[in-house]
Amino acid sequence: MESLLEVEDLHTQYALDDGLVRAVDGVTLDIRRGEVLAVVGESGCGKSVMARSILRLVDKPGKITGGHIRVHTDDGVVDMANAEGPAIRSVRGKKVAMVFQEPIASMSPVHTLGNQIGESLRLHEMVDKKTARTRAIELLRRVGIPAPERRVDEYPFQMSGGMLQRAMIAMALSCGPDLLIADEPTTALDVTTQAQILELLRELQQDTGMAVMLITHDLGVAAQLADRIAVMYLGAVVETGTTDTVLRHPRHPYTQALLRSVPKLGSASRERLSPVRGMVPSPYQRPPGCTFHPRCDAFMEGRCEVTVPGSVPAPVLVSADKGARTDGTVSCLLYGDEDEGEATR
């Protein structure tokens, strides 16, 4: 499959009075056309800042300090990490769109839905007012909003959370993006509405063929929708692979611990769940070597607290006689020669 987005060694930092927060600290990942990639990890591991970096929506004093964000378009490749205004605007909304955790916070309270969706269409496609309104109604219908001819004239405060998230998705779809980034799109919703929104995303993805980056702390959500999974820990991707491999044969000790902390998918057994040991370290005090080492069950003294593991092809053991194949990548000294890792940071 053709590559659509390549993030390479991305760094985004916040210089605060208390110190430097390395929110994104060397993320490398890619998304191919038409695929669904779930980005998973505990709260605070940098998923949202990474997503906002891709669209250059990082709030001050946050700053991209290194790396590349290559978006492949029909007109060539745009490196969003280093692009200027016009190039950023040619990608944002048009090629890559985003829906956020809290739709109410990302919509204007003083404009109707129709005006907000229409504005985006008029900006990118220069359609007239009447056409924009007709298209807004079509989009609202497409995302399952009942009576769209009436609701198009309503304001965000008049809608439920689930309807508002649908409207936000309609707005994101308005310019037919190649990639939709959905940042915890169901976290603020009740369980029934969550399932409906996920189903809607799946339908829209299949109908349009757009790629989706689904950001979630919920492995169950990733399992339902994703073709591949990238696992993040403290600002970096520690494991990637197809959904089946990552969930059934997790290679990184962090992924293994995350999976032990959620009920087994599809299992009715009452096995004991264990949260990932310890706490996510303070963003100001990153452990040296492998940042996961203080919480890791496979900790190797003298190695893990010293050497930063590099990313290597990740093995999947098929059977004892057939040996291992590889699927995705893993950053852990159990799998890579420590000489291949970077020097201690």
Ligand X SMILES: Nc1ncnc2c1ncn2[C@@H]1O[C@H](COP(=O)(O)OP(=O)(O)OP(=O)(O)O)[C@@H](O)[C@H]1O
Count H helices and E strands in the chain, helices first.
11, 12
∠ CA 80-82-87, nearest 5°, is 55
Query: 3-state SS string over 173-215?
Result: HCCCCCEEEEECCCCCCCHHHHHHHHHHHHHHHHHHCCEEEEE
Does 14 bind ligand X (CB under 6 A)? Our answer is yes
Stretch binding ligand X (CB under 6 A), from 39-47, 144-152, 172-180, 326-334: 39-47
**Distance from CA of residue 187 to its chain's centroid?**
13
Residue selected from 45, 64, 223, 296 as contacting ligand X according to rule CB under 6 A: 45
Tell the smallest beta-carbon distance from residue 48 to ligand X (Å).
3
Q: Which is nearer to ligand X, 16 or 317 (CB)?
A: 16
Positions 191 through 230 that interact with ligand X (CB under 6 A): 217
Tell the smallest beta-carbon distance from residue 239 to ligand X (Å).
16
Positions 277 through 296 that interact with ligand X (CB under 6 A): 283
Q: Which is nearer to ligand X, 105 or 318 (CB)?
A: 105
Q: Which is nearer to ligand X, 122 or 217 (CB)?
A: 217
Q: Is 312 helix (H, G, I), strand (E, B) or coil?
A: strand
Does 186 bind ligand X (CB under 6 A)? Our answer is no
Residue selected from 7, 23, 78, 246 as contacting ligand X according to rule CB under 6 A: 23
Order of strands, sheet of 96-99, starting from the edge strand that comes earlier in the sequence: 96-99, 179-183, 211-216, 36-40, 228-233, 236-242, 323-330, 312-319
Distance (Å, whole) CA 18 – CA 110: 37
Tell the smallest beta-carbon distance from residue 15 to ligand X (Å).
9
Q: Which is nearer to ligand X, 13 or 116 (CB)?
A: 13
In order of 85, 190, 235, 277, 294, the CA distances from 280 in angstroms are 36, 27, 11, 9, 10
Tell the smallest beta-carbon distance from residue 25 to ligand X (Å).
10
DSSP string of 91-126, one letter each residue: HBTTTEEEE-S-HHHHS-TTS-HHHHHHHHHHHHH-
**Is the CB of residue 10 less than 8 Å from the CB of residue 50?**
yes
Tell the smallest beta-carbon distance from residue 61 to ligand X (Å).
7
Q: Which is nearer to ligand X, 201 or 232 (CB)?
A: 232
Does 247 bind ligand X (CB under 6 A)? Our answer is no
Residue selected from 25, 26, 29, 48 as contacting ligand X according to rule CB under 6 A: 48
Does 43 bind ligand X (CB under 6 A)? Our answer is yes
Site of interaction with ligand X (CB under 6 A): 14, 16, 21, 23, 41, 43-49, 59, 62, 217, 283
